[in-house]
Chain A
Amino acid sequence: MQNSGRFGKYGGQYVSETLMSALVELETAYATLRKDRRFVHDLAAFQKDYAGRATPLTFCPNASRELGCKIYLKREDLVHGGSHKLNNTLGQALLARHMGKKRLIAETGAGQHGVATAIVGAALGMPVEVYMGEVDTKRQALNVFRMELMGAKVIPVTSGTRTLKDAINEALRDWVTNVRDTYYLIGSVVGPHPYPLMVRDFQSVIGRETRRQVMKREGRLPDTVVACVGGGSNAMGIFYPFVKDNVELVGVEAGGEGIETGNHSATLCAGEAGVLHGTLSYLLQDGDGQVLPTHSISAGLDYPGVGPEHAMLKDSGRVNYTAANDPDVLSAFRFLSEKEGIIPALESAHAVAWVMKNAGRFDRDDIVVINLSGRGDKDVAEIAGLPGVGS
């Protein structure tokens, strides 16, 4: 029988029977629409006039001087809503509307995807319900307020570990129950086919712009492109247009308190093949196949799975996956704020942390692009509360 949506051996559609018809419907609709001129035009118009694309590729003179290479930031923090998440929610919401769906549901970790879904719900006049782990509703209270302000209903999830993984479980349960009129707007390159492919397509605008911008400015491709990886959507978005080029690609996972402590979310660094949320990919699990609890200072990376295309890119060696630990991430958060006046999201600060730690391997003329996937305003209150931070 068919094997849909594979990235090497990874991917697939491991879902309850009830959802199969919905996935087939989605696959068909997307296959038609992605080539539909009007859809492509509508999406481009929203990206430009509503989301604020193209986002700048910002050269960082001070950080470059400190680190001894040319540092550029792809400014997804400047996308409306404060992160790259809107690239995907705009595409999927337009698709949902085209499919005649009446209601959007979503999961969220840090709240950025929830906010981006609330935004498109308000803009397109569709009701939105967002599942969010109870732990995350507390550490990202600002985003809960923003979602509610834009008319979305936030549903705190109290099962399991009460974080992103459990929010996805609850969203899947909602979808199974309301499958006929509800569209599940997944926020990352995870889940069953066609989500990983579709979300990557919608996020690839990041890499396409980066390519054009760096060519214009430097006349050549970058040496290294760095992005943080939770589920992996901002990383897939910036990597994908460079996959066939001679450009080093680095994905930085959440090392948390250190991989050796077990308190981390570094799925590709420390996990093994497994099936969660409809896809075969890398997974943090115990010897019996039970999914392990994760830890990260950033709610957006706090997920035991990862997109299946990343799993393939890891096995092939095309992308170098590594991890940054919480203390280094906090240093990077401060560094970029102090040196460049740009407060990064804690998620994106993982990518900055890797460059800081590995600055010694770059020459003065090397071009390093960091995907600054989101802005850090949402994290300020949480960080101010950490011991030894407030002054």
Chain B
Amino acid sequence: MRRIDAAFAGRKRPAFIGFTVAGDPDRDTSIRAAMALIEAGTDILELGVPFSDPVADGPTIQKADERALAAGATVDMVFEIVREIRKRSEVPIVFLAYYNMVYHRGIDRFYREAREAGVDGILIADMPVEESDEVYKAALRHYIDPIFLITQTTSSERIQKIAARSRGYLYLVAVLGVTGVRDTVSAEALDLVKRVRKFTEVPLALGFGISKPAQATTCAGAGADGVIVGSAIVDIIEKNFKDPDKMDQDLRTFVASMKKAL
């Protein structure tokens, strides 16, 4: 069974999906942060591939991308980080990338190298389903789960198209806007879970704006199969990377509190 499928199979409670930018603030600290998330019980690890122009992201993740790039992050290094994590863990790893990184390297090569490094799924933030023919084929060829976004503005017709191409899980965007911490989860976001559920059996994970245990509980109550947390984790790394022991501890404490709420 594929790693992502296994992570969702037979679950009674929603999966906790944690995001960090690969290479933030540097290669080794980034691996340490990822391992802290995994060891504290993160069910699926999402790794951001740093990009100079991350238009889907808010200030927190933009700054993480900038830190990683300033410290010399490259696509090669991102693959290396995956290989390091794979030596120590079988947790599913999903890339969050922007299309130019994939396109420039060559679509087939990017997916092949990702697979060889141990990546299980790839989501391209600026890749709507209509443009996805080539990446979809590459994903199938290399046993990578193609993961897509669905938002509150996605029509039912497009939800069906997107669901038909999705494997692993669907990433439901809980807000109108970019990534970043918010205080609550809107009723619209919770409705989205119900709307999409009508069309697909693929697990549904809610993300964007989720940072607090109470929000995780709300998402679980609405029937989400997973909860995705990014900016809140990146915040902890940003505040503490100069003291890696504290960063490590704070990440573990945070993941434990979220897991408990699910």
- Asked whether B178 lies within 8 Å of A176 as measured between CB atoms, the reply is yes
Number of A-B residue pairs, CB cutoff 8 Å, is: 115
Q: Does A21 make an interface contact (CB < 8 A)? A: yes
The answer on a CB contact under 8 Å between B128 and A13 is yes
Please state if B74 and A288 are interface contacts (CB–CB under 8 Å): yes
- Give the segment of A137-145, A243-251, A273-281 that binds chain B: A273-281
Indicate if the CB atoms of B104 and A274 lie closer than 8 Å. Answer: yes
For A159, list chain B residues within 8 Å (CB): 59, 62
Contact assessment for B151 and A17 in the assembled complex, using a CB-CB cutoff below 8 Å = yes
Interface size class of A (residues with CB under 8 A): 35 or more
Q: Are B53 and A17 neighbours in the complex by a CB distance under 8 Å? A: no
Q: Which of B5-13, B152-160, B212-220, B232-240 makes up part of the contact surface?
A: B152-160
Known: A16-B149, A21-B155, A22-B153. A160 touches B52 (CB 8 A): yes
- On whether A289 and B101 interact (CB within 8 A), knowing A1-B161, A17-B128, the answer reads yes
**A291–B100 CB distance below 8 A:** yes
CB distance from B135 to the nearest CB of A (A): 11
Q: How far is the CA of A110 from the CA of B232 in the complex (A)?
A: 37
| Structural contact, A289 and B104, CB atoms closer than 8 A | yes
Whether A177 pairs with B59 at a CB distance below 8 angstroms is no
Q: Which of A28-36, A71-79, A165-173, A364-372 contacts B (4 or more CB under 8 A)?
A: A165-173
Indicate if A283 sits at the interface (CB-CB under 8 A).
yes
- B177 CB-CB contact with A under 8 Å: yes
Contacts of B177 in A (CB 8 A): 18, 173, 176-177
Within 8 A of B (CB), among A3-20: 3-4, 12-20
> B158 to chain A: which residues have CB within 8 Å?
20-21
Q: Are B130 and A276 in contact (CB under 8 A)?
A: no
**B162 — nearest CB in chain A belongs to which residue?**
A17
Cβ of B153 and Cβ of A14 under 8 Å apart? no
A288 near B150 with CB under 8 A, answer no
B21 on the interface (CB 8 Å rule)?
A: no
A280 to B58, CA, bound (A): 23
Residues 152-195 of chain B, each 1 if its beta carbon lies under 8 Å from chain A, else 0:
11110010011000000000010011100000000000000000
A239-288 interface (Cβ within 8 A of B): 273-278, 280, 283, 285, 288
Q: Per-residue 0/1 for B125-138: is the Cβ within 8 Å of any A Cβ (1 yes, 0 no)?
A: 11111111100000
Q: Does A391 have its Cβ within 8 Å of any Cβ on chain B?
A: no
Q: Does B99 contact A (CB under 8 A)?
A: yes
Knowing A18-B173, A22-B153, A289-B104 touch, does A1 contact B132 (C-beta < 8 A)? yes
A316 within 8 A of B: no
Are B53 and A274 touching (Cβ within 8 A)?
no
Q: Does B246 contact A (CB under 8 A)?
A: no
Which residue of A173, A277, A283 is within 8 Å of B178 (Cβ)? Answer: A173
Q: Which listed residue, A21, A180, A275, A288, touches B126 by the CB 8 Å rule?
A: A275
Q: Are B101 and A21 in contact (CB under 8 A)?
A: no
Flag whether B56 is at the interface (Cβ < 8 A): yes
Bound Cα distance A199, B196 (Å)? 36
Question: Min CB distance, A152 to chain B, in Å?
Answer: 22
Return the CB mask of B54-71 against A: 1 if under 8 Å, else 0.
011011001000000100
Q: State the CA gap A159–B51 with chains docked (Å).
A: 13
Determine whether the beta carbon of A20 is less than 8 Å from that of B153: yes
Give 13 CB contacts A-B under 8 Å.
A16-B55, A16-B151, A17-B162, A18-B152, A20-B158, A160-B52, A169-B53, A173-B177, A177-B176, A177-B177, A275-B99, A275-B100, A276-B100
- Ordered nearest first, which 5 A-B pairs have the shortest CB separation? A289-B104, A177-B177, A17-B149, A21-B153, A290-B52
